[in-house]
């Protein structure tokens, strides 16, 4: 009986962990899109959006390492958006 | 600080001559006056008749003059960025950042930004003066400088809101997945985020400038009686009105030299003072130039008179 309870406990624990991991998937994707957007807005002038005054982009540049990396990885997967959505929807 | 006077107008209409005359006038009224040019092509020294000098100098009792070195603000700004980048992106050490920034220094928009920072700095450093008088560059650059704080302010508000949303998402993920997910150098807390801190610092700077423009400043438009200068004057008035800055006085310089060649009903609600044409800009003549109109502008704002 004891072993049964232990097995059940472990199953619930793993299920909980799995749900926990899945629960942030959408948040993570949303965060990456926001960070990507932030980097694009900040450095837009470099890729042809003549919008944000350049000095603002420059003054933020030293602190935007993560956003720049996210932007670069997003730009690499731009031709495979469908796969990204399919992955998000667990298809 | 009682007021900041900005002299605006087309190139060559006499902004520097008339701003110098106001500076002399106010200093003779026993006021402390800081008089600066933010035009990259300065000529205050040509008018007051002394060799150009760096920094600020008291040329008469209570009258401090400076031809603001715009490039030094640009250099200081870029130097700070280079140092920050070198410390954050240590793997970029192989790239010659100094050479890259020589190119960025000349990028579009950098000069206006440097002048805006310079303007904020000189106003901030001279808050103890009774009056600040600023001689501005000709129209094109001047309009960009005055509109830049408004445009930048709008952008910074948008970036700040997006940053708040990013930090909220990060905090939510952090609460579930723990600190390993983001690693060491990614800020979660709003108080520790350097990006947000920089956005807020820039926002405070532009807000302070906008407040000075709206609450403490008197914009004086200098025109000549010729058609081109009057037409440009109308455009300046309208462009400044669009950002809620209003011309308080028009000085029609070189009056009498030419007949008035344009209907100026656009200026009907703004006081206009005619300034006679000076054949030579001797110091005594410049001294007297403001006697006629400076009193009037001080009367418009009685809180400014001692």
Instruction: Report d(CA A54, CA A56) in Å as an integer.
Output: 5
Report chain B's mean pLDDT, rounded to a whole number.
Answer: 86
**Binary contact (A55, B113; C-beta < 8 A):** yes
**Lowest-confidence segment of A54-63, B47-56, B258-267 by average pLDDT:** B258-267
Chain A residue closest in CA terms to B150: A53
Bigger pLDDT: B177 vs B161: B161
**Binary contact (B169, A54; C-beta < 8 A):** no
- Asked if the model's pLDDT at residue A18 lies above 90, the reply is no
Out of B84, B152, B176, name the one closest to residue A20 (CB): B176
Kindly state the greatest CA–CA separation across chain A: 70
CATH ID of B3-74+104-304, from 3.40.50.300, 3.40.1440.10, 3.90.550.10, 3.90.1150.30: 3.40.50.300
Out of A20, A30, A59, name the one closest to residue B81 (CB): A59
**Lowest-confidence segment of A65-69, A80-84, B171-175, B302-306 by average pLDDT:** B302-306
SS3 state of residue B163 = helix
* Minimal CA separation from B285 to chain A, in Å: 43
pLDDT of residue B95: 63
Q: What are B127-153's pLDDT values in tens digits?
A: 999 999 999 998 888 999 999 999 999
Residue spans of the domains in chain B: they are 3-74+104-304
Look at the block and give the residue holding tokens 């303007």.
Answer: B119
- Asked if the model's pLDDT at residue A68 lies above 90, the reply is no
Chain A residue closest in CA terms to B186: A66
pLDDT of residue A2: 80
Query: How much is the CA Rg of chain A, to the nearest whole Å?
Result: 20
Helix or strand run (H / E) with residue B296: helix B291-300
Q: How confident is the model at residue B204 (pLDDT cuts 50, 70, 90)?
A: very high
Q: What are B2-61's pLDDT values in tens digits?
A: 789 999 999 989 999 999 999 999 998 889 999 999 988 888 888 888 888 888 999 989
> CB of B104 within 8 Å of any CB in chain A?
yes
Is-contact A65 B185, C-beta < 8 A? yes
Out of A23, A53, A65, name the one closest to residue B88 (CB): A65
Bigger pLDDT: B179 vs B141: B141
Is-contact B126 B32, C-beta < 8 A? no
Q: How confident is the model at residue B238 (pLDDT cuts 50, 70, 90)?
A: very high
> CB of B178 within 8 Å of any CB in chain A?
no
* Minimal CA separation from B100 to chain A, in Å: 12
β-strand partners of B135:
B7, B37
pLDDT of residue B94: 58
Instruction: Report d(CA B41, CA B43) in Å as an integer.
Output: 7
Nearest of B38, B249, B194, B203 to residue A67 by alpha carbon? B194
DSSP, res B92: G
Residues 26-85 of A with CB under 8 A from B: 27-28, 30-31, 34-35, 37-38, 41-42, 51-56, 58-66
């Amino acid at each position: 009986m004891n072993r049964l309870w232990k097995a059940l406990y472990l199953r619930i624990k793993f299920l909980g962990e799995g749900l926990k991991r899945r629960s942030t998937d959408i948040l993570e994707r949303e965060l990456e899109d926001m960070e990507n957007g932030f980097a694009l807005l900040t450095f837009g002038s470099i890729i042809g959006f003549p919008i944000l005054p350049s000095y603002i982009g420059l003054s933020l540049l030293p602190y935007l390492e993560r956003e720049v990396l996210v932007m670069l990885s997003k730009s690499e997967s731009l031709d495979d958006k469908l796969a990204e959505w399919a992955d998000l929807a667990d298809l | 600080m009682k007021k900041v006077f900005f002299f605006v107008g087309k190139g060559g209409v006499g902004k520097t001559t008339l701003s110098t005359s106001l500076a002399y006038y106010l200093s003779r009224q026993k006021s402390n006056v800081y008089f600066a040019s933010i035009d990259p092509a300065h000529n205050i020294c040509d008018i007051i008749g002394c060799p150009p000098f760096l920094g600020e100098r008291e040329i008469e009792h209570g009258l401090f003059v400076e031809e603001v070195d715009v490039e030094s603000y640009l250099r200081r700004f870029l130097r700070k960025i280079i140092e920050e980048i070198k410390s954050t992106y240590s793997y970029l050490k192989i790239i010659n950042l100094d050479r890259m920034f020589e190119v960025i220094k000349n990028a579009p928009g950098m000069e206006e930004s440097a002048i805006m920072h310079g303007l904020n700095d000189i106003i901030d450093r001279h808050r103890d003066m009774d009056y600040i008088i600023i001689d501005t560059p000709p129209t094109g650059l001047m309009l960009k400088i005055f509109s830049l704080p408004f445009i930048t302010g709008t952008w910074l508000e948008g970036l700040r809101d997006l940053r708040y949303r990013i930090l909220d998402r990060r905090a939510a993920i952090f609460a579930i997945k723990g600190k390993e997910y983001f690693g060491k150098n990614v800020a979660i807390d709003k108080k520790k985020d350097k990006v947000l801190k920089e956005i807020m610092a820039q926002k405070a700077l532009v807000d302070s400038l906008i407040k000075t423009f709206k609450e403490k400043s008197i914009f004086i438009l200098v025109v000549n009686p010729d058609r081109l200068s009057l037409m440009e004057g109308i455009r300046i008035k309208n462009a400044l009105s669009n950002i809620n800055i209003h011309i308080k006085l028009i000085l029609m310089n070189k009056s009498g030299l030419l007949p008035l060649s344009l209907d100026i009903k656009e200026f009907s609600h703004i006081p206009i003072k005619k300034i006679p044409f000076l054949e030579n800009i001797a110091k005594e003549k410049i001294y007297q130039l403001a006697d006629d109109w400076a009193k009037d502008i001080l009367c418009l704002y009685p809180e400014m008179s001692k």
